[in-house]
Amino acid sequence: MIQSQLKQIFGYDSFRPLQEDIIQNVLDKQDSLVVMPTGSGKSLCYQLPALEFPGLTVVVSPLISLMEDQVMQLRALGITAVFLNSTLDQLEQDWTADQIRSGAAKLLYAAPETLVQPRTLALLDQCNVDCLTIDEAHCISEWGHDFRPEYRQLVALRRRLPDAVCLAVTATATERVRQDIKTSLDISSAHEFVASFDRDNLMLTVEPKTDGLAQTINFLQAHPDESGIIYCATRKQVDFLAGELARRGWSVLPYHAGMDDNSRRHNQQQFIRDDVPIMVATIAFGMGINKPNVRFILHYDLPKNLESYYQQIGRAGRDGLPSDCLLLFSYADVQTINFFISQQDPSQQQGARVRLEAMLGFVETNVCRRRPLLNYFGEAYNKEDCQTCDNCTTEAGDLVDLTIPAQKFLSCVKRTGELFGVNHIIDVLRGSQSQKVLQRGHDKLSTYNIGLEFSKKEWQYLARQFVQQDLMVQDMEYGSLKLTDKAYAVFKGEPVHGTLPDKPQAAPSATAQANYDQNLFQLLRQKRKALADEAGVPPYVIFSDRTLVEMATYFPQSRASFGTLYGVGAAKLADFADVFVPIIQNYCVENGIEEVRKSAPTAVSSSSSTPGGRTLEVLNLYNNGRTLPDLCQQYNVKRSTILNHLWKAVQAGESLRASNLLEHSNLSPEQQQQALAAFAEHGTDYLRPVYVALNETVDYEELHLLRLHFVS
């Protein structure tokens, strides 16, 4: 029953982990506390029951933008949802109240302060409320990171609605916060559902920050046309970086708390609507951003703890598609954060330092990054190889003997009295004439000017390894380096092994490996954007990227097969099939592509790159001497079908026997030569450019034939 609703209304084939249990529990009117990471599909846990319940589902939401977004998405699915907040005028309020009283509205979204107003309470008294959902429930706890005192008043509402099941959902909740939520809402016997916090579609990479701007540009170049967020530590940094990127022609906007409300709202809107793909922001940006197709998060500066880091990377890949998270790390950032910590209330400093240290543990680990990350959130991660972090995917570079550089570096640390940070040590090793070096007489040391074989950046890289190998520790407050017992062993000749700075760079971008027709995807995206602008909604309200990816993977040619796609339920089928299917059909005709049957649910990644059995069979027969007409006869199919099989085989890397396919062509030898020349010029990936180059005088079937001849 709920299974069929899942496809029929929401267009999904299967439940995500825990969703089904939670929904069942809610339908049984058992109070529930749900802790699931961002993007794991919490909303469905109350949206689907809301459709089953005869009465109303009230959803408490802390932010206006969040409720508006949800309501917009629900309406696109054909579900009547409303919200109450301070932005509505009298007319809209009256209409909303009518919808609620008449039972037309299945879901009501509101902020806590609106809900506890006498007027709202009176309205709720007039109808049956079956479910009270508290979204972002951690806001109720002083121990959480976004405490909202208004949330404390919700217990009164909860008591007033004894027939409503209570569902509290959040993405962040330590044990303490969980208890707090239950007590504050008076649902102490609520069933707890806690999902794994592993987001396996996020590629996690940490790179030493050597030249932040150049690294950023590099990273952006690996993500053309994709949407993402670059987080910086300060407003100044945001303005600087956004300016530098814009000057170089990148489409970016800044966002931070120092900007006025209007500019912030405007920039956020531009980002959400895919008008501007890249946002450069401080942590002020992100709360209430529901955009599912954020493809990358770049941390330009070190986040101050793993909670922040996890929350920020959580904004990537909510649609479940691969997304890239890169953190640029420098020890200078550690010192900056330490400085800010020292300005805090003394009672909070200790905790902040411990959390920073856990952040460093994550950054410096050489085991799978998911281990320290998930351990921090109380979850054991036991897989050997996650396949989506830099430590698991980069080949361990060949280990080389670093004993001599280590001895040089460590002894320089010792001779300067274990009082200085990495950069000063490097200055001494590289014979710097800086004031700091000369004033302290460090140019007189025996380690002065003995390290010219490595650049400054290379020494920084080596120094990080020495820290990771426990040869020295860095003072958390001042950044100064101190030697450990292990360092003394190195002085005595204990060897040190490690990697040299030119180790392979971060793995290729996670999203670049996508295996679907990029050109069709772009066409579909343009259409989606046009429809969204027309309707005044963000593009993802029309379809998620994931749905477009499926279109560009399976090439559905009929309403029926369009209906099997991810995210296509009854309402979207009715609204959009006639818009998108013809685009796909045209594209397929032009490019000689056939529909691929979508078999296993959510098989997006296992795309059509390996040819099927029939294709290989045709190829083998052909390579063993059968001709085109032979094969048409044998399979009783049109010539274009055989040509398609052969082309697919070629695309999959198979080779075709050399033969004169031109003898089957109806074109004059002159036309044939022109066509072959056009393939040489435009390439063989797509037929359309060649079709156009020949003034549309040669039909596609001929072009298929000539292309095969060209490549064989």
At residue 60, the 3 state secondary structure works out as strand
Q: Dihedral sign, CA of 356, 359, 365, 370?
A: positive
Task: Closer to Zn ion by CB, 155 or 392: give it.
Answer: 392
Q: Decide: is 42 part of the binding site for ligand ADP (CB under 6 A).
A: yes
Residues of span 261-290 touching ligand ADP by CB under 6 A: 290
Reference 538, options 21, 64, 39, 72; nearest CA is 72
Task: Closer to Zn ion by CB, 323 or 615: give it.
Answer: 323
Which option in ligand ADP, Zn ion, none does residue 132 bind, with CB closer than 5 to 8 A by kind?
none
Part of the chain binding ligand ADP (CB under 6 A), chosen from 11-19, 450-458, 478-486, 685-693: 11-19
β-sheet with 81-84: strand ranges across: 81-84, 107-110, 56-60, 129-134, 165-170, 32-35, 191-194
Match 């996690």 to its residue by tokens. 204
Which option in ligand ADP, Zn ion, none does residue 44 bind, with CB closer than 5 to 8 A by kind?
ligand ADP
Task: Closer to Zn ion by CB, 259 or 392: give it.
Answer: 392
Which option in ligand ADP, Zn ion, none does residue 195 bind, with CB closer than 5 to 8 A by kind?
none
Structure tokens at 319: 């649609």
Give the x-and-dash track for 14-33 against ligand ADP (CB under 6 A).
Answer: -xx--x--------------
CB atoms within 10 A of CB 308: 17
Reference 123, options 105, 156, 98, 104; nearest CA is 98
- Kind and range of the H or E element at 82? strand 81-84
Task: Closer to Zn ion by CB, 27 or 392: give it.
Answer: 392
Which option in ligand ADP, Zn ion, none does residue 15 bind, with CB closer than 5 to 8 A by kind?
ligand ADP
Which option in Zn ion, ligand ADP, none does residue 41 bind, with CB closer than 5 to 8 A by kind?
ligand ADP
Residues of span 512-551 touching ligand ADP by CB under 6 A: 544
Task: Closer to Zn ion by CB, 245 or 386: give it.
Answer: 386
Q: Decide: is 310 part of the binding site for ligand ADP (CB under 6 A).
A: no
Which option in Zn ion, ligand ADP, none does residue 40 bind, with CB closer than 5 to 8 A by kind?
ligand ADP
Match 């339920």 to its residue by tokens. 569
Tell the smallest beta-carbon distance from residue 391 to Zn ion (Å). Answer: 6
Distance (Å, whole) CA 7 – CA 160 = 35
Indicate the residue type of 619.
L
At residue 35, the 3 state secondary structure works out as strand
Mode of pairing for the β-strands spanning 400-401 and 497-498: antiparallel
Which option in ligand ADP, Zn ion, none does residue 39 bind, with CB closer than 5 to 8 A by kind?
ligand ADP
* DSSP characters over 416-483: TTT---HHHHHHHHTT---HHHHHTTGGGSTTTT--TTS-HHHHHHHHHHHHHTTSEEE-TTT--EEE
Distance (Å, whole) CA 426 – CA 455 = 9
Distance (Å, whole) CA 370 – CA 531 = 39
Q: Decide: is 36 part of the binding site for ligand ADP (CB under 6 A).
A: yes
Give the x-and-dash track for 317-336 against ligand ADP (CB under 6 A).
Answer: -xx-----------------
Residues of span 253-272 touching Zn ion by CB under 5 A: none
Q: Decide: is 386 part of the binding site for Zn ion (CB under 5 A).
A: yes
DSSP annotation of 389 reads B
At residue 514, the 3 state secondary structure works out as coil
Give the x-and-dash track for 352-371 against Zn ion (CB under 5 A).
Answer: ----------------x---
Task: Closer to ligand ADP by CB, 15 or 420: give it.
Answer: 15
Q: Decide: is 203 part of the binding site for Zn ion (CB under 5 A).
A: no
Reference 253, options 234, 274, 224, 223; nearest CA is 274
Task: Closer to ligand ADP by CB, 246 or 571: give it.
Answer: 571
Q: Decide: is 57 part of the binding site for ligand ADP (CB under 6 A).
A: no
At residue 7, the 3 state secondary structure works out as helix
Q: Decide: is 49 part of the binding site for ligand ADP (CB under 6 A).
A: no
Tell the smallest beta-carbon distance from residue 56 to ligand ADP (Å). Answer: 20
Q: Which one among 49, 286, 292, 498 touches ligand ADP, defined by CB under 6 A?
A: 292
- How many residues in the chain? 712
Binding site for ligand ADP (CB under 6 A): 12, 15-16, 19, 36, 38-44, 290, 292, 318-319, 544
Binding site for Zn ion (CB under 5 A): 368, 386, 389, 392
